[in-house]
Structure 1
Amino acid sequence: MKTLFVSYRVTDLARSLAFYTALGYTELGRVELDGGARLVLLNFPDEPAASLELVHRPAAGPVDVGSGFDHLAIQVATLATTLDTLTEAGLRPEPLQHPGGPQGPKTSWLTDPDGYRIELVEWPPGHPDGITAADFA
């Protein structure tokens, strides 16, 4: 088994698409559903498949993100460069942090238009992509 993608319900599809494309996602395709609902599948250019789905259900009303969801983590190559790019695109990432100390990962946070939190992570040199069992040894 493997995780296919994360799915977020969004209040304003155009606003959310503008945010996520500024973050670097590209649109793979859309599915039109009954009642004006839509699914939009996104990925980063170097990903072979969808990694994020935006679900717009206008009849369901505004999104409430305070119901248990915490955050989405996204790996970046060079966090400082990514923060500059996002700031130039009009997004407001938080300052770079070193939560594991100076030799650990670099992180920053930003929040999408509906309030979903996103953690941007740059791993230290030599660290594998993602968190593995070795991180807990």
Structure 2
Amino acid sequence: MKTLFVSYRVTDLDRSLGFYTALGYAELGRVDGGDGSRLVILKFPGEPAASLELVHRPLDGRVDVGSGVDHLAIQVDTLAAALERLTDAGLEPGPVQYPGGPHGPKTSWLTDPDGYRIELVEWPPGHPDGLTPADFS
């Protein structure tokens, strides 16, 4: 088994799509669910398949992000370059943090239009992509 993608319900699909495309996602496809419901499937250009789905169900009302989702983590090659690009695109990433100390990963946080938190992560040189068992030894 493997995870296919994460799906977020959003209040305003166009606003959220603008945010996530500014973040770097590209649209893969759309589905019209009838009754005003729509969804958009996204992926980063370097990914082989979809990684995020935005779902808009207007009959369900505004999104309440306090329902258990904590955050989405996104790996970046160079955090400083990503923060500059995001700031230039009108997004508001937070300051650089070093949660594992000065030799660990660098992170920054931002929040999407519905309040979903996003953690941007730059691994230190030589670290494999993603979290591995070695990160917990």
Shorter-chain TM range is: over 0.9
Match of 1:136 in 2: 136
* Distance in 1 (alpha carbons) for counterparts of 2:130 and 2:93: 21
Shift of 1:114: 0.1
Q: Does 1:108 align with 2:102?
A: no
Runs of 4+ in structure 1 off by over 3 angstroms are: none
* Distance in 2 (alpha carbons) for counterparts of 1:77 and 1:4: 22
Amino acid at match of 1:49: A
Unaligned runs of 5+ in 1: none
1:53-132 alignment, distance < 5 Å? 53-132=53-132
Shift of 1:15: 0.3
Query: Structure 1, residues 75-111: CA drift from partner, whole Å, max 9, x if none?
Result: 0000000000000000000011111111000000000
Shift of 1:68: 1.0
SS at match of 1:85: helix
Match of 1:22 in 2: 22
When the two structures are superposed, what TM-score results if normalisation uses the length of structure 1?
0.99
Count of matched residue positions in the alignment of Structure 1 and Structure 2: 137
1:8-47 alignment, distance < 5 Å? 8-47=8-47
* Distance in 1 (alpha carbons) for counterparts of 2:8 and 2:58: 14
Shift of 1:136: 1.0
Amino acid at match of 2:47: E
Please report the RMSD computed on the Cα atoms of aligned residues, expressed in angstroms.
0.5
* Distance in 2 (alpha carbons) for counterparts of 1:73 and 1:136: 17
Identity over the aligned pairs, expressed in percent?
79
Query: Structure 1, residues 50-84: CA drift from partner, whole Å, max 9, x if none?
Result: 00000000110000000111000000000000000
